Chains A and B, each alone.
Chain A
């Protein structure tokens, strides 16, 4: 059977009707979801695809492994706290970690613009090596393409990783129940705002660093303590905490209620967001993760996270309730409430 024939048999209904690709389709919010669910999923996964997670779980000869891929187009290439090379490794390690797997091997593709100074490339490759060593993952291979000057912006990196499932934990939006608690590993918005300021387009300065890091040690600490009580995890990168939790709310049909005063946000991030009219809940992170933990494990899980290195600022930021159905609500101490939707549009392009 020809490849086309297979595809036709396989294909679900295409719902993506937009005439051209906009920046918003890459922003990780609503438009991205429409593109993935409306075009990629029906054509590539057929109609049987379930909720889309951070990594795919596949079975080879009876062994289950997790697999994921991610591209990095961040501008500028380096910024306070990190750079594209280290981001490319940690991003993939994190996608695997929050799907309940420890990254074992990564392959890398570089797309380089002719004219890129070698010392910049070398620095990024070194950063990748160091990040891989720290995360205990091997870089197993790679590919390089070079395009004409002006046809790419310096360098793009794509990483694909496979990981071994961490025993004793099963991640699924469907297992989330009313009464479960929402845990967050630390302050949000550091990465997105750092990148925005590093571009120098705003006359704003702040003492702020990207939060980029591997979250695997924290995930392991959480799983060791709470085990099967951990129902769902996600690293809130593009689109931020709001988008990740809206995806969860949609996938499980329940409401996520956040307590505003519990959400950790540094003053520099809050200040920048106030000035620019952004919501920290929509800002990207590269070194944090969200976890839904059953009520009976939540307190102990939070203590375990806080006791782990880098987890001191973890918080329980909310809980799952029966309503509002499939939506995320923020409540304040004085009794005000507001809905928080997924990111719409793209206020901050090319942050990772």
Chain B
């Protein structure tokens, strides 16, 4: 498969891993945060911890949109869908996220009209096919998905679609990184920068991380070779005492971002003064709301939204895990009360959540297997 197989080539991967070993100072402990949940997933799926030196610690960041959404927002969305003749439409990864009284999927089993869509424009199709119903699209995501929601709203407005609205939960990545860096218990050496998100915003918005915080960041793709190359680039910067933004994912990410996407977002959305993040609390100017000119398609204005606030279960340590302070397995509920099948926190639901990734791919792995495998690799 083109654009995939080249980046999974075992020989190149082993060569890069070898270079990483050469660059690593054995007397130093490296803490590198991958901001994006897609990277967390890829690291576990490809078993990259097995090929990295033990003194490189990958810390999982807050870049999983499902995970950072406070539970109350899910209940707000479901309360709209509970009104007569409303269809709740969302991406598949929202479906199993628990609200206070169950996930969207559980509400569906009890009779709520809940539909999985693969793109927000599918929700428009739903609206046209069901003129007697109101379709509410539960929008979620960083700058990665915000442009497609913006384009969908532009289309709804252009067509004067009466029975469609968006419940907007879009958030922005930069304030989340700032919150992590401001957190007193966080010591990091550098960042693996988000790939998809940067396709839209480009690389410039990260420059302050280098200038103000003196940390290197490398914008990175999602294949094993991408991740290893980015780690290699970070280690080179650290060895040379540098801190700059580098773009490893040039085949997709333009330095200046995607102007058309940014323009559409700017036309449809404005920053909220503040927004609550699970684990990180209220962060100012960290989320998007729908502009007044699109008020007619804003579910928050069209319907009565209760504004539910629910604190996470006390024992769950989602916040600490989201900030990278705790590893998934260090949470008291991990693998016992909280599993992918009966998740308590969203980190255990989304495939991009670090708890789900760790649970699914890693936590029962015996240590000896990775050793056995290293010898297998050297034979090949």
Within 8 A of B (CB), among A253-294: 257, 261, 267, 270-271, 274, 276-277
A329 within 8 A of B: yes
Cβ contact within 8 Å between A334 and B109: no
Cβ contact within 8 Å between A202 and B376: no
A144 within 8 A of B: no
Within 8 A of B (CB), among A44-102: none
- Shortest CB-to-CB span from B367 to chain A, Å, is 10
Q: 1/0 contact trace for B97-136 toward A, CB 8 Å?
A: 0000000011001100000001100100000000000000
Q: Which residues of B contact A270 (CB under 8 A)?
A: 1, 4
Once the chains are docked, how many angstroms separate the CA of A322 from the CA of B341? 27
Cβ contact within 8 Å between B365 and A337: yes
Of A203, A335, A340, chain B has the most CB atoms within 10 Å of the CB of: A335
B50 within 8 A of A: yes
B374 within 8 A of A: yes
- Shortest CB-to-CB span from B95 to chain A, Å, is 8
B373 within 8 A of A: yes
Cβ contact within 8 Å between B51 and A334: yes
Among residues of B, the one whose C-beta sits closest to the C-beta of A25 is: B109
A21 within 8 A of B: yes
Q: Which residues of A contact B369 (CB under 8 A)?
A: 257, 323-324, 329, 331, 337
Cβ contact within 8 Å between A339 and B364: yes
Stretch at the interface among A128-136, A178-186, A341-349: A341-349
B175 within 8 A of A: no
Q: Which residues of B contact A335 (CB under 8 A)?
A: 14, 17, 47, 50-51, 370, 373-374, 376-377
Q: Which residues of A contact B363 (CB under 8 A)?
A: 339
A22 within 8 A of B: yes
- Partner of B376 from the list A267, A331, A347 (CB cut-off 8 Å) is A331
Interface of B is mostly: helix
Once the chains are docked, how many angstroms separate the CA of A202 from the CA of B95? 18
B224 within 8 A of A: yes
Once the chains are docked, how many angstroms separate the CA of A31 from the CA of B118? 24
Cβ contact within 8 Å between A202 and B118: yes
B13 within 8 A of A: yes
Per the CB 8 Å criterion, the residue count for chain A at the interface is: 35
- Partner of B10 from the list A20, A323, A327, A332 (CB cut-off 8 Å) is A332
Once the chains are docked, how many angstroms separate the CA of A338 from the CA of B45? 6
Once the chains are docked, how many angstroms separate the CA of A332 from the CA of B46? 8
Cβ contact within 8 Å between B110 and A336: no
Once the chains are docked, how many angstroms separate the CA of A337 from the CA of B374? 10
- Shortest CB-to-CB span from B88 to chain A, Å, is 16
Within 8 A of A (CB), among B337-378: 340-341, 351, 359-366, 368-370, 373-374, 376-377
Cβ contact within 8 Å between A30 and B362: no
B294 within 8 A of A: no
Among residues of B, the one whose C-beta sits closest to the C-beta of A204 is: B118
- Shortest CB-to-CB span from A40 to chain B, Å, is 19
A1 within 8 A of B: no
Once the chains are docked, how many angstroms separate the CA of A271 from the CA of B4? 9
Once the chains are docked, how many angstroms separate the CA of A283 from the CA of B370? 27
Q: Given A23-B105, A202-B118, A347-B92, decide whether A274 and B376 contact each other with a Cβ distance below 8 A.
A: no
Once the chains are docked, how many angstroms separate the CA of A201 from the CA of B121? 12
Cβ contact within 8 Å between B48 and A339: no
Cβ contact within 8 Å between A339 and B377: no
Q: Which 5 A-B pairs have the closest CB atoms?
A: A336-B47, A335-B377, A333-B10, A338-B361, A334-B13
Q: List 28 A-B contacts (CB under 8 A).
A: A20-B109, A22-B106, A22-B109, A201-B118, A202-B118, A270-B4, A276-B118, A323-B368, A323-B369, A324-B366, A331-B47, A331-B373, A331-B376, A332-B46, A333-B380, A334-B10, A334-B14, A334-B224, A335-B373, A335-B377, A337-B365, A338-B361, A339-B360, A339-B363, A339-B364, A341-B340, A345-B341, A347-B92
Additional A-B contact list (5), CB under 8 Å, known A333-B377, A336-B47, A338-B46? A22-B105, A257-B369, A324-B364, A340-B360, A341-B359
**Which residues of A approach B to under 8 Å, CB–CB?**
20-23, 30-31, 201-203, 257, 261, 267, 270-271, 274, 276-277, 323-324, 327, 329, 331-341, 344-345, 347
